[in-house]
Structure 1
Amino acid sequence: MKRAAVLAFTGTGAILGLRIRESLASGWNVTVFVPERIRQQADREMDLEVLQPDGRSWVKENWKSYQGFIFVSATGIAVRFIAPCLADKLTDPAVVVVDERAGFAISLLSGHVGGANELTWELAQCLGATPVITTATDVEGIFAADVFARKNGLRIGNRSRIKEISGALLEKKPVGFFCEYNVEGKLPKGLYSVTQREKLEEYEYGIMIARNDRTVCSLCKEEKHHILHLIPRDLVLGIGCRRGTSAERILEAVRDGLQRLGMEEARLGALASIDIKAEEAGLLMAAERLGVSFCTYSAERLREVQEVSRESEFVRSVAGVGNVCERAAYVCAQEKSNFKEVKKIEMLLPKTIYDGVTLAAARTEWGIYFE
């Protein structure tokens, strides 16, 4: 569940903040923060948290802890609070400003990837406010590659190309679209389907979504071709390890496995193992460093996967299942698919043994959707 902080600075703003908390969809966990004087003046039953006196420092300290900040204030106040925190349009949280009378909801920061535009629309509908959205692609009704990537669970391989693709579409230049995954929906205006990767060379601007990173040729790096590389997070690594195995050793195995597959680290969606490894420090730290989730499953659930390359009687005696890594990769890949009904899981790398680590890789089914 996403976390949002509502910052209000008056009694009227606090009441509106509580209304926002009650109105937002269930996907948001909203906390309302107010200055101490407002908290003291408010009814004790009002669920309000105290904002420390130096509110700007609090925002800076908690910038990465919330996916959204909603200021019930003047826009200038919000700008001054967030200015020291700004880093990157692809990593900054959503920031929305709502005036105390709920007349306007303004998407202030991270409209696309951060989701501020969507949050603004949602707030406007809940509060009866007028949404104010100023991103060029939204104003002109143009395809936004960063929004498309976020909604389809794609990582961006070369960030600088986002702006170039948007600029090309705004200037009505054609953009080639090459995808090796199943595509549903109609391509937006300005995008042209390309069935062969080499055909992208006919376009100055393009978007590539390939199944194997080895097929991503130097085209994505050439200055004369502006090709945006989008990467599905369709790869899951199942891992078994001895107790106390370090994160460094696990990461060495992960990187070797990725190299064997010709896959980029950005393609990795999750690490998976058996539930008795749920608190294994090395696995938890490895997942954190990779920026992916760590999923664990019971031996009973893993035994539902019957076909594996080989079994270990020793591992079976300890864990209750003779091949942890392949089964964990398979089960996790089923869960991580963005398909409504998963029909096929591809085992790309069978059980591979390292020093204290076993590793297997599975690819889940992935779909690309245009609204």
Structure 2
Amino acid sequence: MGKGPNFMGIKNMKHDKGNIVFIYISDRGYKLIEKLRPFYPNANVRRLEPKLVDSLWKQNNFLIFVMATGIVVRIIARLLHDKEKDPAVLVIDEKGNFVIPLCGGHLAGANHLANEISTLLGAQVVISTSSDLWEVEALDLWAKKLGFRIINKSKLPSIQEKLLNNGKLLAFVDKKVHINLPKGIEEVEDPEKADILISNRKFVSLESKVQFVPQNLFVGIGFHDLVNPEYVKVTLQKWLDSLGVLPEAIKAIATLRRKVQHPVIVSLKEALKVEILGYSEEELRKVKSVSSSDKVKKAIGIDSLSEQAALLASGGVLIAPKRVFDHVTFALAEVAFRPKGKLYVVGIGPGDLELITPQAVKALRESDVVIGYSTYVKLIEPIIKDKKLLVYGMTHEVERAKRALEEAASGKIVSIVSAGDPGVYGMAGIVFELLEDHTIDVEIIPGISSINAAASLVGAPLIGDFSVISLSDRLVPWELIEDRLRKAAAADFVLVLLNPRSKNRDRIKEIKEILLQYKKPNTPVAIVKKAYREGCKFWITSLVELENYPIEMDTTIIVGNSQTFIKKSKMVTSRGYKY
């Protein structure tokens, strides 16, 4: 087995897509599973028994067999029924050399999980799906990622085969749909010439075409409490047909908040599989409608419930004003469809993979693209080696953040990595400063800061109040840094000094002299170089000896306060407990 990275510090890596079951037949297989269990603590582990797989088949999303492939094929052959409903099936040999996604490579997520496990084991993944082998976009996964619903799905295999064989497809794309088409797919203006249609419109005949339906329509509805739910459902369908749009394109149904649990709304939610949005009368009054109803306005103070609800829910434009039927009124709004990108700002900790959080690993593994400073990317290379990497040099934080936002804006899942914690002198700030596209979901993944890492190596110096100051004058003038340093020292804070020296900046002697104006010469000082990284060293000394040690940019200096002392070669700050 290839030597995999040491991840023994990762204790809670959950898989988003559902239940995982490991199945083994020998002690050797069980030992291999034990290596993976820290990453999947919620997974079930079972020894193979007669009828076991039958009972697990419909209850779990991922079945991972650690045994010979032939055994697995014989077991599952009679159970395979529908690739959209069957679980993902993976096989790992007992030595952990190979990970094989046997069934459910795309839709069930077997390929994704196989890549993940192979990375964790240092194994080779064996993928046989054509789109992956020939690096052609798998259209079912592409549609799923964008949230498209698929019409005429039975034709999808032949369309995919055409893309594989010819390297080209033609697509008609609605003007309200703003997406980047996969490689090999060209846009055409005539739907008749297209192989695939990307639209919320209803076409007369699809024939051999496949339609991907964006959910960008919002229905506003007002109704009498005694109206029949089935009547409302049928009437809505007929009205949408008359407008030439598909019910599959509905993103949400909007109405009064107090009516969201009404049988009419519950029935529509179940039938259409859509979101339900409820608003108060006060919220709806703030929205200007196209038409008005004196009856509705007299009853609830709203000009046109259906129009105002549709507009408020969508933030878009009304494409069908209210239509009144018996005891129910509909209106339809449309919004431009743009893929919702995801950007993780990931704190990778001080650099040791044992100190990276499970949440950070999960975000990195989910990402299509990982962006970062070259040194930081190299630290986590074992868990992102199969990802698209965009690597930058030092001092290119703005460029990194801009590129990360651009990639996420295109609908991708992106991670931008930051050493330590991204909210402590990290990338989180510049990302939010540059963020303008509200369709991008930004999530901050915390990490262990170098401050905490350095302190842990030398004892317990940060037990009381402390102040953290970066000594880098690249973005902050030295005069301001010096002023902060003096005030923090005068206030008797424990000081954590970051970025103390660079090639063009050496103020260590000056810093010592400033601090000696407020602190005693024998004040304990810790000097930590490359905390928890290769080449890590640390020293505990006194303030007067500060400049006699090798201090660089990657060094953290901790200067004690009046309550800090040395005990058993450790630096300790007293909190004031009585004992």
Say if 2:2 is the partner of 1:5: no
**Residue matched to 1:363:** 334
Q: Is the alpha carbon distance of 1:360 and 1:183 closer, same or farther for their aligned partners in structure 2, counting shifts above 3 Å?
A: closer
- After superposition, the C-alpha distances for 1:70-112 in whole angstroms (9 at most, x for unaligned) are 4253356665665565443345454444556654433233322
Quick one: distance in 2 between partners of 1:295 and 1:92?
Answer: 33
For residues 119-268 of structure 1, the aligned pairs below 5 Å read 119-172=113-166, 174-181=168-175, 182-185=177-180, 187-189=182-184, 191-200=185-194, 206-213=195-202, 216-218=203-205, 220-221=206-207, 226-243=208-225, 245-268=227-250
Say if 2:53 is the partner of 1:56: yes
Quick one: distance in 1 between partners of 2:334 and 2:49?
Answer: 47
Pick one of 248, 256, 262 that aligns with 1:274: 256
1:239 deviates by 2.2
Q: Is the alpha carbon distance of 1:350 and 1:79 closer, same or farther for their aligned partners in structure 2, counting shifts above 3 Å?
A: farther
1:53 deviates by 9.1
Say if 2:291 is the partner of 1:309: yes
Q: Contact 2:90/2:99 (CA < 8 Å) preserved in 1?
A: yes
Q: Which amino acid aligns with 2:335?
A: T
**Residue matched to 2:306:** 325
Which gives a bigger RCO, structure 1 or 2 (Cα 8 Å, sep 6+)? 1
Quick one: distance in 2 between partners of 1:195 and 1:307?
Answer: 33
Quick one: distance in 1 between partners of 2:71 and 2:36?
Answer: 16
**Residue matched to 1:69:** 62
Q: Contact 2:57/2:86 (CA < 8 Å) preserved in 1?
A: no
1:138 deviates by 0.8
- After superposition, the C-alpha distances for 1:194-246 in whole angstroms (9 at most, x for unaligned) are 2333444xxxxx22223522xx354x31xxxx432222222222223333544
SS across alignment from 2:43: strand
Q: Is the alpha carbon distance of 1:93 and 1:308 closer, same or farther for their aligned partners in structure 2, counting shifts above 3 Å?
A: farther
Q: Contact 2:21/2:44 (CA < 8 Å) preserved in 1?
A: yes
**Residue matched to 1:45:** none
Quick one: distance in 2 between partners of 1:290 and 1:208?
Answer: 21
Q: Is the alpha carbon distance of 1:100 and 1:295 closer, same or farther for their aligned partners in structure 2, counting shifts above 3 Å?
A: farther
Query: What is the count of residue pairs matched by the alignment?
Result: 321
- After superposition, the C-alpha distances for 1:4-34 in whole angstroms (9 at most, x for unaligned) are 1111346647645642336xxxxxxxx4224
Quick one: distance in 2 between partners of 1:283 and 1:72?
Answer: 44
Quick one: distance in 2 between partners of 1:299 and 1:80?
Answer: 61
Q: Contact 1:333/1:363 (CA < 8 Å) preserved in 2?
A: yes
SS across alignment from 2:38: helix
SS across alignment from 1:284: helix
SS across alignment from 2:225: coil
Q: Contact 1:17/1:32 (CA < 8 Å) preserved in 2?
A: no
1:288 deviates by 1.1
1:262 deviates by 0.9
Q: Which amino acid aligns with 1:208?
A: L
- After superposition, the C-alpha distances for 1:314-352 in whole angstroms (9 at most, x for unaligned) are 57745x755432233233334xxxxxxxxxx12122222
Quick one: distance in 2 between partners of 1:126 and 1:277?
Answer: 49
Identity of aligned residues (%): 28
Quick one: distance in 1 between partners of 2:216 and 2:79?
Answer: 32
Q: Is the alpha carbon distance of 1:101 and 1:315 closer, same or farther for their aligned partners in structure 2, counting shifts above 3 Å?
A: farther
SS across alignment from 2:307: helix
Report the aligned-residue RMSD.
Answer: 3.5
Q: Is the alpha carbon distance of 1:121 and 1:239 closer, same or farther for their aligned partners in structure 2, counting shifts above 3 Å?
A: farther
Question: Which entry has the higher C-alpha Rg, 1 or 2?
Answer: 2
Ranges in structure 2 where 5+ consecutive residues have no aligned partner: 1-14, 25-29, 340-409, 413-579
Q: Is the alpha carbon distance of 1:154 and 1:356 closer, same or farther for their aligned partners in structure 2, counting shifts above 3 Å?
A: same
Quick one: distance in 1 between partners of 2:298 and 2:77?
Answer: 55
Quick one: distance in 1 between partners of 2:269 and 2:304?
Answer: 21
**Residue matched to 1:32:** 43
SS across alignment from 2:143: helix
SS across alignment from 2:333: strand
1:155 deviates by 1.8
- After superposition, the C-alpha distances for 1:13-66 in whole angstroms (9 at most, x for unaligned) are 7645642336xxxxxxxx42245xx8xxxxxxxxxxxx999543443443xxx6
TM-score by length of 2: 0.48
**Residue matched to 2:100:** 106
Q: Contact 1:105/1:120 (CA < 8 Å) preserved in 2?
A: yes
Quick one: distance in 2 between partners of 1:277 and 1:290?
Answer: 17
Q: Contact 1:13/1:100 (CA < 8 Å) preserved in 2?
A: yes
